[in-house]
Amino acid sequence: RVPAAVVAVVDTDQISQTCTACRAASATLQSQENTLRQRATTLQQQLQTAGAPLEQQVAALNGREPDAALRTRITAYQNQQRLQSTQANVNRQISARLQTIVASVSAARGANVTIARGDVMYAAPTLDITNEVLAQLNQQLPAVSVTPLPQTQQPQQQTQGR
């Protein structure tokens, strides 16, 4: 027999916008993104489909050095990939700690199911554990590494959750 559900809710949107590490990482990522956006504006259309053509152009060089225009496109593409990898790494770090904290706070409050606030039409305020989760996240994860994923964990165009 399955036990009755004791539900809690957590506002992951609020946490991702207000946790200390989230805000710091977001500011750094925003700065990196703005720099890259300014530099890549003229190359944006080319970058949308740049991966395969760039690989073909590099392969066609047969070991020769690419010209300046191709080097610029390659660098812009690599910068875009690095930014996506950095965002994935930040999300991975926060999500891993958040999962542990949500499970711990839920258990301490007697909940055996926790649902994201955005997935609930109504929940009594007494079911909301967001502030407790946020306090523990800020305490346990004051900062994250705002660097690309290690090479062994590079995403293959995967999307990361909150």
pLDDT digits (tens, 9 = 90+) for 31-85: 877 777 766 665 555 555 556 677 777 778 877 887 888 788 788 888 888 888 8
The first and second tokens of residue 133, run together, are: 């989760």
The candidate with the shortest Cα–Cα distance to 53, out of 37, 42, 69, 40, is 69
Number of residues in the chain? 162
d(CA 98, CA 49): 35
In the chain, which ranges are E strands?
7-10, 113-116
State which amino acid sits at residue 80: Q
With 0-12 / 13-18 / 19 or more C-beta atoms within 10 angstroms meaning exposed / middle / buried, residue 46 is middle
What is the average pLDDT across 23-33?
Answer: 84
Least confident of 2-6, 11-15, 62-66, 105-109: 62-66
**Residue 153 confidence (pLDDT) above 70:** no
3-state secondary structure of 10: strand
DSSP state at residue 128? B
Looking at residue 108, its pLDDT comes to: 96
What average pLDDT does range 86-92 have in this prediction?
89
